[in-house]
Structures are given as C-alpha cells and as structure tokens.
Structure 1
Amino acid sequence: MSNPRTLDWNREALDEILSNDKGRPVLFTNARILTMDPVIGTMTGADLLLVGSLLVGVGPNIVTAAQDDDAIVVDCTGMTITPAVVDAVALAGGRGHRSEYVAALTPGNTTDFLVVPDALAAGVPSAVTALVTLPEQVRALVAAGRPVLWGGTDVPGRAGAPEPGIPAAQDLTGSPRVGVWIDQHDFLHQELTADGRYDETRGGRPHAYQGRCWINGDRIDYLDDLGFWAYGEFKGDELHHAGYVMKLG
C-alpha cells in the first residue's frame, strides 16, 4: 500500500495536467534523467519538457523558459526519470544511428517515461523492475504525455488494457475501405467485406487465405481461419500488407 507521502506527491500538478485543455507545456524539473540517448547521456538537476505527447526539451535550465510559457511544473527533487519503454537492442549497443533509439528520452520522441526515487533507479532496467515489483513507489508513469500512475496509484480515467480474448466480428458496413484491394502486379486481390472478413486471391488461386479483420484508424489486423495473426496499414489510398501495396479496384 502506498504511504500518504507518496500519494500526495505533486498532487496539484497532477490536477492541472488532467484538466489541461489549453495545450500548456508540462515540465518535470530538478531530476536525474537517464535519457538512453547516446549523445545526451545522463543528466543531473535537469528538466524534461513535454507538449502533448511529444518530448520537446531535455536538459538543465529549461525551467525559466517553461515558466514564461505558463508550463505546469512538477518538482522531481530526489527522483530519477527514465524511459518507460526499454529498448533492449539499444541497451546492448546494437543500434548504429541515434535516430534508431526510439525509446530514448530524445526531443521529438513520444513521452513515455517513469519517475522513481533515485534509490530505485541505478539504471533503466532497475527502474522498470520497480514499476513491476514496487508500483506503489513509482511517483509517475506517463504514456504519450498522459499520466497512468501517479503517487503510486492509478490515475482516474487512465487507459486500461484491452479485454482479453478475441474481439467480436467488426461491422464494416458503410466503411470506405470495404471492397477489393489489388496490388500493383495484379497478384494479390484482398477483399474486405462488410461483415468484418477478408478473402484473398493469390496468383489466381481463389480463397488462398480467409479470416476475420478489424480496422482501427489506419491499422488493420487479420486473424486467418488457419489461426495466425497479421496486420496492414492504410496510407492514403493505399493498403500496405506483408510487402504488398494495394489499391481499391
């Protein structure tokens, strides 16, 4: 159970963040920051500035400019900020370009991060371990700029995990994406139907693959009747799937 002092951590700032409907910046200040960025490295007494879901600044002395911009300020004295998403390949030195460090606290990246007491953050792995084993000690878990945990407890209205199990068939009646999608070489024909199913013809072979599909925004997930999952992405008037680029026929 969280102790009262943990629960009260920057409570006023949390209320401001949750009611922030004017796009005010949010500044986490006076922290030790393990950025995982190979150029920026680790900083002490530093600030993390976010606007919406994006990290826009990291380093010392941002606080003055942030206050000029009416930022919401979260005092992180005695705390360490680390990425909440661990890029294991980057940790092992397996990425060759800085731009590939997608989980790093680098300006321009998505704001997914943890705030934990210094004693629990010898490194990024130990901070993430604290989230799993000592969640009541986590001061903040922020996902895409929105608090998920704060002061060791769930934030009201936080996003929850999807319900376990395969979702019901999706009704695609009226969707502009229903129809037959054909790749540029006329090899793959993928028909999306209003009852939330797909039926593929490959190289003239009908019903090569069939199953259910779910469209969420620009993403489409497939569950084939054989049991495997796949996905695709709509980009403008194109459907990209498994190396194929298709357009509505």
Structure 2
Amino acid sequence: MSITDLNTTYAAGTTGWNARALDEIVSNDGGRPVLFTNARILTMDPLIGTVTGADLLFVGSLLVGVGPGIITAAGDDNAIVVDCTGMTITPAVVDTAALAGGRAHRSEFLATLTPGNSPDFLVVPDEDAIDVPAALATLFTRPQQVRALVAAGRPVLWDGADAPGRATAPEAGVPAAPDLTGSPHVGVWIDVKDFLHQELTADGRYDETRGGRPHAYQGRYWIDGDRIDYLDDLGFWAYGEFTGDELHHAGYVMKLG
C-alpha cells in the first residue's frame, strides 16, 4: 500500500495541511497510533541522529518508533497517517546544553525524539528548518509557517493556527487562596524521623515546626493533582509531591499525623 493510498481518506474534501488527519487526531482517544511519515527528522539523539524520508510513530503520549519503513505497518495498525513530504520534524522542547555539546552521555540528553520519550515535536517546511534553532525561530517569528506543534501527542498548533481543543497556559500571577475544606490533604504531616511537622490548613496556609522550633516556615500553598507548591512568607517557592499516603518535600517523607 502506498503513502498516497493511505492518505486519500484524509485528503479528500478537506482544505489545509492534512486537515482530515487533524480531525482524526483530535477525536482520537489515544488508542489509535499516529504516524507522521516521509519527513526529515532531527532527533537530537546522538545515536539516531538525523533521518530522512522517515516516520515518527506515537501512541497516546508515548513515542514508539522513529526511522524509515514504519509506514509499511500503518494499515495493519489502523494508524492515523500524516504525510510530511517536504517537512522537517524537530523536538519542540530543546536541550540547549546538548545543542552546545555539553552532554557527556546519551542518557543525559533531554527531550530528544527517542522511542520511549514523550512525542513533543515541531513540523515545519524544510527551508525553515536548516537545524533545530532555525525551526524554533520559525515557531516564534513566523508561526503561520508551522505545520504542526504537538505536545504529549496532542496538537497545539496546526497549519499555522491554534488546534481545536488545544491546552492553554494558566493565567500568570499568584492565584487566590483556595478553599480546601474537606480535602484529604489538610492536616499535620510529620516526617518519619519526627523532625519536621508541616500543618496544611483549609485556607491554603502552611506552618512548619522543625526540630521543635515552631513557625520555622510559614506561607501559602496550592495543590494541583499530586503536586503541592509552596510560597513562603519570606518570598521563596518550594514544592512537594503526594505519593500514596506520603508527602515528599525537600528530602523529607511525611505522613498525616
């Protein structure tokens, strides 16, 4: 089966770059594979390097394959196919230390288009992506030239415009104090060595006792999923993470007292 055959479904009756494929991706529940095919791919992975006439395959938020020949299984897997002829794919999240040659080991490279990583990538015309910095410059100076910006497998920009249902950044600034009445996280958290006691109150305030010294740190906090962010009254920010019935913060492991 040829690339043309696979893409006929997406091209017929639509306007814009791979418009039908965008509809399929947006409505995809994460179960169908998505294949960007026939692209030049700057993986930034020192082992894989740059591949041409290549494919990038992901399922949900997991990149599962990079390189030529993956298109042969697209029909078998009912993949959503995006034809990237004349396009270059680069990482959307760039490791500037790697770009400057400052990583000694491949395992230290961040945000490469390596199978097993998150599919965060940018698709731009070849002429606008001589290298990764040029592709990023296109995104920030001529976003209308961007064919796709994908984050964790979900389109953010498509054919130079916002993708339907794209995520939006939270408003800048410190949010109002939350009402955490009834939250299971409210209470006094005590570390396993009984050195740190951290009280989280329902009005979004915390108060730490350290080594028997009361009010060592006080301030505001916000919870987002399993993450807790602290803004101390002294002005610094810190964070913690809820894991099961534990709160991990600054090297301490705490449980509700």
TM-score, with structure 2 as normaliser: 0.91
Q: CA deviation at 1:184?
A: 2.1
| 1:186 equivalent among 194, 197, 214 | 194
Secondary structure at 2:198 match in 1 = strand
Alignment check: 8 A CA contact 1:102 1:109 kept: no
Alignment check: 8 A CA contact 2:94 2:110 kept: no
Give CA-to-partner distance per residue, 1:104-132, whole Å, 9 cap, x none: 00001011100001111111111111110
1:47 match: 55
Secondary structure at 1:195 match in 2 = coil
Instruction: Kindly report structure 1 stretches of 4+ aligned residues shifted beyond 3 Å.
Output: none
Give CA-to-partner distance per residue, 1:226-247, whole Å, 9 cap, x none: 2211111112222111122212
Q: Within 5 Å, give how 1:143-222 maps onto structure 2.
A: 143-222=151-230
2:36 match: 28
2:11 match: none
Secondary structure at 1:206 match in 2 = strand
Sort the Cα spacing of 1:64 and 1:9 in 2 relative to 1 into closer, same or farther, 3 A: same
* Counterpart Cα distance in 2 of 1:108 and 1:99: 12
* Counterpart Cα distance in 2 of 1:153 and 1:186: 54
* Counterpart Cα distance in 2 of 1:125 and 1:22: 30
Q: Which has the higher contact order (CA 8 A, sep 6+)?
A: 1
| 1:15 equivalent among 6, 12, 23 | 23
* Counterpart Cα distance in 1 of 2:103 and 2:198: 36
* Counterpart Cα distance in 1 of 2:163 and 2:239: 31
1:3 match: none
Task: Could you tell me which runs of 5 or more consecutive residues in structure 1 were left unpaired when the two chains were aligned.
Answer: 1-6
Secondary structure at 1:64 match in 2 = helix
1:88 match: 96
Alignment check: 8 A CA contact 2:37 2:54 kept: yes
Q: CA deviation at 1:22?
A: 6.0
Q: CA deviation at 1:98?
A: 2.4
* Counterpart Cα distance in 1 of 2:131 and 2:88: 9
Structure 1 vs Structure 2: percent identity of aligned residues?
A: 81
RMSD between aligned residues = 1.3
* Counterpart Cα distance in 2 of 1:228 and 1:67: 53
* Counterpart Cα distance in 1 of 2:136 and 2:245: 40
Sort the Cα spacing of 1:233 and 1:22 in 2 relative to 1 into closer, same or farther, 3 A: closer
Task: Could you tell me which runs of 5 or more consecutive residues in structure 2 were left unpaired when the two chains were aligned.
Answer: 1-14
1:109 match: 117
